Amino acid sequence: MINENDPSTLSTSGRLLSYNSAVKEGLQTGLKFTELMDKLISTKDADVLVSSAQELSTFVLDTDYVTFPHQYNTPDYYLIFMSRLLELHGKDNVITLQSHEDQHLTQQIASLEDKGVFSFTIANDGTGGVYYQEQVTGETIFYLNLQRKMLRINSAAITKLFVITYHEQVATDQILETTQLFMDFGSSLKEDYGFSVDFNILDTSNNEFYAFTNSNLSDEVVDKLFVAAAKEDYMLMHSSDGAVLELPNQVTLHITSKNAKWGMTVHDDEEATSWFKLLLDYPFVREWYLENLGDLEVKSDPLVFG
């Protein structure tokens, strides 16, 4: 008895037809893949861009009868998506994609020149999340999830890479241009797709509260800033809810408690200054923060960065 699902029961012609049908299905899968790649590479429609990236991130190209020896990896589609989204928002030349012999992509950021090689890695969180990492240091800059529509900046990695590692190697304006790229990418995700985005220490909003790791900040740590500021002719003043440091250009750093957690806010009329920018602009603030990092490190989303 012939069973179409069991090739061993088919006649010779039946087996050939079965084989031919499987090859056709495999080729159709390949054609579908190329159509998605065309959209990812060429579309001017933001909705088409994200839908093609989502499909490609889970796309299985090979079949039992048709395999493709040269394939990009899932993280590569995220790199292409990131570069294309920035391109749609007028950022055409800010990043360069590099193709390697083992058929994977990496990214270099123009403002860093020859510093830094970036790519995505799978987060293995079961929800399609990926981490954007610098490949030499292994620092995870942000978490991206197209399915859950979210992006989260990692304050620890931003500090280690840009405030510590690159501090003596890269000019401040280049560092700020680089981190602005991450802000631009996150803003595009918010504008085009309604993503939930946490810029963390890069956020310039006056309403941003940078929560410290230690929710019970000691007076000793604050006093260290008082001494450091005085040496630079700045005055850290005690207030009813913490301490206030006034800086040039009407920038104010306020160390305070909110919802039983210690942290800080940065205020300026133009809302152009973040805690990250203060770390770069003021050595005494940077030294105080780094020397007391165990207490002062600004929290990142624990659900994606542990």
**Residuewise pLDDT in 10s, the chain (306 residues):** 335 555 555 567 777 887 888 888 888 888 998 999 999 999 999 999 999 999 998 888 988 888 888 888 889 999 999 999 999 999 988 999 998 877 789 999 999 998 999 999 999 888 889 999 999 999 999 999 999 999 999 999 999 999 999 999 999 999 999 999 999 999 999 999 999 999 999 999 999 999 999 888 999 999 999 999 999 999 999 888 899 999 999 999 999 999 889 999 999 999 999 999 999 999 999 999 999 999 999 999 999 997
CA Rg, the chain, in Å?
25
Containing structural domain, residue 23: 12-68
Same domain flag for 126 and 161: yes
Same domain flag for 102 and 193: yes
Whether 73 is in a domain gets the answer no
User: What does pTM read for this prediction?
Assistant: 0.90
Q: From CA 191, how far away is CA 165, in angstroms rounded?
A: 32
| Total number of domains constituting the chain | 3
Whether 7 is in a domain gets the answer no
